[in-house]
């Protein structure tokens, strides 16, 4: 069973050295061929990533949000992907950590980003009525995230990682 309500408020959020800890994912999949078979290619044009609109505007970004006291960083990444984008999948090794200034205030955040290989896309999810979700090519996503240098950097790391032959450790996201 999937929880259809997003967590709200910041009373359970983690902070470190005055910075709010934020966790997000880059949900990805490989394009499906017309014959219904998955097309897997080292060329990043075969890769699709999922972006969501912000709640307060039409900016596009990867799902992210506050890391809460009662969850691991991987659980937070899974929860944010479910709440904001309505996807479940395998959380892979961290792409990196970035320190960035909030667009809406003078607060600094410490952001942790993970790849999420999508295994299921839900028709109903907690923020369905608040956000748009769009599958894009890597190039389209780079352009869509033009105001977020750290998200573009995370995407570039993901593309590089997927094009290399290194092995990935996966964790499966389970519905909340």
State how far the alpha carbon of 80 is from the alpha carbons of 1, 106, 176, in Å: 16, 23, 11
pTM for the structure as a whole: 0.81
Of 87, 82, 96, 76, residue with least CA distance to 151: 96
Mean pLDDT by 10 residues, the chain (176 residues): 53 86 95 61 69 87 94 96 97 94 81 96 94 95 89 95 63 52
Please provide the size of the chain in residues.
Answer: 176
DSSP at 112:
E
pLDDT value at position 172? 53
CATH superfamily ID and name for 15-165: Nucleoside Triphosphate Pyrophosphohydrolase (3.90.79.10)
């Amino acid at each position: 069973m999937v929880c259809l309500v997003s967590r709200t408020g910041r009373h359970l959020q983690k902070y470190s050295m005055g910075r709010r800890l934020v966790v997000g994912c880059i949900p990805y999949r490989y394009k499906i061929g017309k014959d219904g078979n998955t097309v897997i290619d080292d060329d990043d044009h075969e890769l699709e990533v999922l972006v969501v609109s912000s709640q307060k505007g039409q900016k596009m970004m990867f799902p992210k949000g506050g890391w809460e006291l009662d969850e691991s960083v991987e659980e937070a990444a899974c929860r944010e992907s479910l709440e904001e984008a309505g996807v479940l999948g395998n959380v892979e090794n961290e792409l990196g950590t970035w320190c960035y200034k909030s667009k809406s205030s003078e607060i600094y955040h410490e952001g942790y980003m993970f790849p999420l290989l999508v295994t299921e896309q839900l028709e109903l999810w907690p923020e369905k009525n608040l956000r748009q979700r769009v599958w894009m090519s890597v190039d389209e996503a780079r352009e869509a995230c033009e105001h977020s240098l750290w998200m573009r950097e995370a995407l570039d790391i993901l593309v590089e990682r997927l094009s290399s032959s290194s092995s990935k450790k996966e964790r499966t996201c389970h519905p909340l």
